[in-house]
C-alpha cells in the first residue's frame, strides 16, 4: 500500500495493490480454515514485497497467537506497531495476547489504548 497524501483532517489516502490484496485474500482464507502455517507463509510473501506492511505483520501475529505461540506473536505485534503506531486493532490484540501470557496490567493498558484509538480515529480512504 502506498501513501498518496493526506487531507486537511490528516486522513491517509492510499493506493491498494490488487496483486497484494489477492495474496491477502488467499492468506485470510487459510487463516479462517485454521491453516496457520500456510497463511503465515503467504503473509511473509507480502512482507517481502512490501517490507513495511503493518497489516501483514499483524496477520502473522494473529496466526501465531491462534497457534498458541504468544511470545512470537508479541514480537510481530511490535513490528506492526513500529509500522503503524496508531493501529487500534493491533494494540487491542497485543493486549489480549499479553493477558494470555500473564501480563494482566500491561495487557489491559494496551487494550485501553486500542479502544481509545478506535474511538478517535477517522475512517481511512482507499483508492484502487
Residue pLDDT, tens place only, 12-21 = 555 678 889 9
Element (H, E) at 36: helix 36-49
Give the torsion sign (CA, 13, 16, 20, 26): positive
Question: What's the predicted TM-score (pTM) here?
Answer: 0.81
Q: What structural domains does the chain harbor? A: 2-127 (1.25.40.10)
- Asked if the model's pLDDT at residue 100 lies above 60, the reply is yes
Say if CB 36 and CB 30 are below 8 A apart: yes
Which residues contact residue 19 at a Cβ distance below 8 angstroms, ignoring those fewer than 6 apart?
Answer: none
- Judge contact between 59 and 43, C-beta under 8 A: yes
pLDDT in tens, 45-89: 999 999 999 999 999 999 999 999 999 999 999 999 999 999 999
Full DSSP string of 14-26: EE--HHHHHHHHH
Amino acid at each position: 500500500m502506498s501513501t498518496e497524501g493526506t487531507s486537511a483532517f490528516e486522513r491517509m489516502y492510499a493506493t491498494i495493490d490488487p496483486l497484494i490484496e489477492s495474496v491477502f485474500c488467499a492468506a485470510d482464507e487459510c487463516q479462517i480454515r485454521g491453516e496457520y502455517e500456510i497463511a503465515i507463509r503467504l503473509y511473509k510473501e507480502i512482507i517481502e514485497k512490501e517490507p513495511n506492511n503493518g497489516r501483514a505483520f499483524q496477520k502473522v501475529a494473529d496466526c501465531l497467537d491462534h497457534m498458541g505461540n504468544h511470545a512470537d506473536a508479541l514480537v510481530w505485534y511490535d513490528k506492526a506497531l513500529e509500522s503503524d503506531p496508531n493501529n487500534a486493532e493491533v494494540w487491542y490484540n497485543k493486549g489480549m495476547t499479553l493477558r494470555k501470557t500473564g501480563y494482566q496490567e500491561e495487557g489491559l493498558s494496551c487494550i485501553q489504548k486500542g479502544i481509545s484509538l478506535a474511538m478517535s480515529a477517522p475512517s481511512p480512504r482507499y483508492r484502487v
